[in-house]
Amino acid sequence: MTTGKSTTLTKLIVVALGMFGFGFALVPFYYKICEVSGINSGDEQSLVKNTQVDTSRWVTIEFDANTNEGLPWQFTPVQHSLKVHPGQLIQVEYDVANNSDHAIVGQAVPSYGPARAGAFFRKIECFCFTPQKLAAGERRRMPVLFVLDPSMDKDLHTVTLSYTFFNTDTKAQTAALRKTGAHG
């Protein structure tokens, strides 16, 4: 009787201690399971995954920058072209500098080549959404964040995103136009 009890006691204590260790073993165990089965690869889960990237094709995007005559600014894209998959989130930057001796407010207007590509540019953030004020001699880098809609026509292999900056002061604008008219 007594030996029966102490055997049971020993076995149960071993089980209890074993389960205490098992609690700790669960930590690497869970990590391993997730790693092997790919259930919970932390980064993928924490980022919202864009499932609509069309990896079957490449599109080249060309970036172009112009200023209207009435605006004494220097305006250039930081990168001139990119090869992307439609659906991919893309961020590019433009470089702009005010070379005059006074502050000017300008507004950029986009255009697309070919024109039908414009319908597939989904802009999330763009400096063209608001007027930009640059102090005399100020230089700035401005981002554009966008996605090319994956439903974009398959025959479009190269598209152009072009910006033209206009002076929001309409008097300066007309004055500049007259000047070019006189020359012409």
Contact footprint for another protein (CB under 8 A): 1-2, 4-5, 8-9, 12-13, 15-24, 26-27, 30, 39-40, 42, 45
Residue closer to another protein (CB basis): 31 or 58 = 31
For 59, other C-beta atoms within 10 Å of its C-beta total 20
| Burial class of 84 by CB neighbour count within 10 A (0 to 12, 13 to 18, 19+) | middle
d(CA 31, CA 128) in angstroms, rounded, equals 46
Residue closer to another protein (CB basis): 16 or 182 = 16
Residue closer to another protein (CB basis): 23 or 184 = 23
Residue closer to another protein (CB basis): 12 or 103 = 12
Helices in 38-158 by DSSP H: which ranges?
Answer: 42-46
Q: How far is the CB of 45 from another protein (least distance, A)?
A: 6
| Burial class of 72 by CB neighbour count within 10 A (0 to 12, 13 to 18, 19+) | middle
Q: How far is the CB of 27 from another protein (least distance, A)?
A: 6
Q: How far is the CB of 40 from another protein (least distance, A)?
A: 8
